[in-house]
Structure 1
């Protein structure tokens, strides 16, 4: 019998990319969900009947529980995760079904990690924060960490062109990330950071070039210090192309009244306006992504930097690769790790290298002396 994969939110841009990766690299039968029959009309007929659509709202708990019980793997792509509870994960643990998600906010990450022992007891492998960032980015960090005698600092820089090929949900995620200050691990202590502050100009590979990135609240800011205890500093920064989007986002983070940015109607307004703008600028900038992971530490008595970069011409597709490739490993039984874990704690560098090569994703790494 074929493996059965349930993808919640599977008609979104990210969910669709995850489904496409799984259909391409496995023989699994996929069920994707959406809240209305209209969203199911776009289900591809080229999958040989391996893809079907289920009308499902996450508030329909009995229907959700039934769908999970009929699955071998559940992939949660129904963001934004700022608003999500862990109901899906809890049902997976109850039913003994493995779980992945593309979650990208620390509030959800913390709630999910609190279920670790329950997942261990149930024998369920639950891997959170898969995708491109967080996700592939975390594995780039692990690969870098393993090059050192002692790793001390992690600096992650993310750059997205236009919309990145994603939908309005990702725009919501961006503006939701501007609402509050957040804790970051700096010089061995937790410090409060203002979102979209402290611009740095990073030299990304072409076609991106030198571009600005800013502090942004990401779950790897809290998971990486625990996954790699010798590290004393973890920096996560994000930027957009064209650069004027960075300035508009800075204004939203620092000039707009905080009470206004915390209203859902304002988030919706900004998200839809931004998505409309990127529909136009995508023509000129593309929808690609660049990830740069720098690890600083001691190697043979010297302090050096190991820098890795990864590029892709479609951010949503890259996210689909990150999650889809891990789904394949889970279905093949190559990634059994009961508990709830961020991707960097589970995926070995050997397996990471294998799945990136399988998908012809090139990673460029180099040593940089200070």
Structure 2
């Protein structure tokens, strides 16, 4: 009997990319879900489902071998999908991009371990592939002290309006980041920094953003600092987002109607500029530490012409490994704790995704 995979939120752009990646590389029977009746639009089984409908959710999960949660935004999601998977003994994978959600999910570690299920958080592109790039770089050093992740996306990234909602929701509150060995408070979309990305992106301004990587990486690796910054092209989107974070009163910004207006307006804007900028993504992971007693830097970069497809590859590759039994680890884990570098490199190579690496010995700071 074929494996049965349930892609919750599979009617969205990211979920559909995950389903297509699996359909191309496995014999799994795939069911995608969405809140509206759109069964005629997908080449898979379709289930109309709202994740708040616990009865229908439980029934769908009970008929699956693997559940992939793609129904964002995750900021206000509870962990009911993960909880139900634990109750049903079904493996779980998600594309969560919210530290608040990750904190909730990690409280189920013991329950998942007791149930014997593998639950992996933060798959996708960033977080996801980016986290595994950090692990890949850290393993080339004797010790690692600083992780600096930088991301740039062209326009909409080929994703839907949910990504816009996620961006504006991320501007609501200050957040904590692990800097110089202690947790420090950071203002969202602050501290602009110019990063040199591979072509066709070149120099792009990036800003602090509240992402799960800065929560999980200090737990996964003994680093003193973990930084993650995000930017988009064209650059005036960065300026507009910075302005929203600085000048719209938080009381107004927290209104769901405001978030929805900004999200819809931004999405319509990107539909016009995507033709000029493309919808690709670039990641730069710079890790500084020591090797053979000398200060050393590892810089890894990845580009892809379609952000949503890249996210689908990140999640689909992990799902494939889980289905064929190569990735089994009882408990709840962020992706960098669950996926070995060997498996990651093979998965990326099989999807034609090349990660460039440069190892540089630095001058001593003494």
TM-score of the aligned structures, taking structure 1 as reference length? 0.97
Give the whole-Å Cα distance in 1 for the aligned partners of 2:12 and 2:120: 20
- 2:161 — aligned with what? 168
Q: Secondary structure at the match of 1:78?
A: coil
- 2:139 — aligned with what? 146
Give the whole-Å Cα distance in 1 for the aligned partners of 2:335 and 2:20: 21
Q: Secondary structure at the match of 1:246?
A: helix
Q: Secondary structure at the match of 1:36?
A: coil
1:276-295 equivalent positions in 2, closer than 5 A:
276-295=268-287
Q: Secondary structure at the match of 2:295?
A: strand
Please report how far the alpha carbon of residue 71 of structure 1 lies from its aligned counterpart in structure 2 after TM superposition.
Answer: 0.1
- 1:224 — aligned with what? 217
Task: Say whether the 8 Å CA contact 1:34–1:40 is kept in structure 2.
Answer: no
Please report how far the alpha carbon of residue 367 of structure 1 lies from its aligned counterpart in structure 2 after TM superposition.
Answer: 1.5
Of 53-62 and 102-111, the range deviating more from structure 2:
53-62
Please report how far the alpha carbon of residue 40 of structure 1 lies from its aligned counterpart in structure 2 after TM superposition.
Answer: 2.3
1:275-354 equivalent positions in 2, closer than 5 A:
275-354=267-346
User: Quick one: which of 140, 151, 174 aligns to 1:158?
Assistant: 151
Give the whole-Å Cα distance in 2 for the aligned partners of 1:59 and 1:108: 16
Would you say 1:86 and 2:79 are equivalent positions? yes
Give the whole-Å Cα distance in 1 for the aligned partners of 2:289 and 2:264: 43
User: Quick one: which of 192, 208, 213 aligns to 2:206?
Assistant: 213
Task: Say whether the 8 Å CA contact 1:43–1:53 is kept in structure 2.
Answer: yes
Please report how far the alpha carbon of residue 168 of structure 1 lies from its aligned counterpart in structure 2 after TM superposition.
Answer: 0.4
Would you say 1:114 and 2:107 are equivalent positions? yes
Q: Secondary structure at the match of 2:262?
A: helix
User: Quick one: which of 123, 127, 135 aligns to 2:120?
Assistant: 127
Cα distance, 1:331–1:269 mapped onto 2, change above 3 Å: same
- 1:2 — aligned with what? 2
Task: Say whether the 8 Å CA contact 1:132–1:322 is kept in structure 2.
Answer: yes
Task: Say whether the 8 Å CA contact 1:287–1:314 is kept in structure 2.
Answer: yes
- 1:47 — aligned with what? none
Please report how far the alpha carbon of residue 368 of structure 1 lies from its aligned counterpart in structure 2 after TM superposition.
Answer: 2.8
Task: Say whether the 8 Å CA contact 1:104–1:218 is kept in structure 2.
Answer: yes
Give the whole-Å Cα distance in 1 for the aligned partners of 2:52 and 2:175: 29
Unaligned stretches of 5+ in structure 1?
45-50
Give the whole-Å Cα distance in 2 for the aligned partners of 1:279 and 1:28: 33
User: Quick one: which of 247, 259, 273 aligns to 2:239?
Assistant: 247
Give the whole-Å Cα distance in 2 for the aligned partners of 1:98 and 1:28: 14
Please report how far the alpha carbon of residue 60 of structure 1 lies from its aligned counterpart in structure 2 after TM superposition.
Answer: 1.5
- 1:28 — aligned with what? 28
Give the whole-Å Cα distance in 2 for the aligned partners of 1:255 and 1:337: 46
Give the whole-Å Cα distance in 2 for the aligned partners of 1:128 and 1:40: 28
Q: Over the residues paired in the alignment, what is the CA RMSD in angstroms? A: 0.6
Give the whole-Å Cα distance in 1 for the aligned partners of 2:65 and 2:271: 37
Give the whole-Å Cα distance in 1 for the aligned partners of 2:230 and 2:12: 22
Task: Say whether the 8 Å CA contact 1:21–1:320 is kept in structure 2.
Answer: yes
Give the whole-Å Cα distance in 2 for the aligned partners of 1:239 and 1:305: 23
- 1:43 — aligned with what? 42
The Cα offsets for residues 328-356 of structure 1, whole Å up to 9 and x where unpaired, read as 00000000000000000010000000000
Task: Report how many aligned residue pairs link the two structures.
Answer: 362
1:194-213 equivalent positions in 2, closer than 5 A:
194-213=187-206
Please report how far the alpha carbon of residue 14 of structure 1 lies from its aligned counterpart in structure 2 after TM superposition.
Answer: 0.2
Of 55-64 and 130-139, the range deviating more from structure 2:
55-64
- 1:48 — aligned with what? none
Would you say 1:56 and 2:58 are equivalent positions? no
Q: Secondary structure at the match of 1:293?
A: strand
The Cα offsets for residues 170-214 of structure 1, whole Å up to 9 and x where unpaired, read as 000000001000000000000000011111100001000011100
The Cα offsets for residues 221-242 of structure 1, whole Å up to 9 and x where unpaired, read as 010001002x000000000000
- 2:13 — aligned with what? 13
Q: Secondary structure at the match of 2:93?
A: strand
Please report how far the alpha carbon of residue 369 of structure 1 lies from its aligned counterpart in structure 2 after TM superposition.
Answer: 3.5
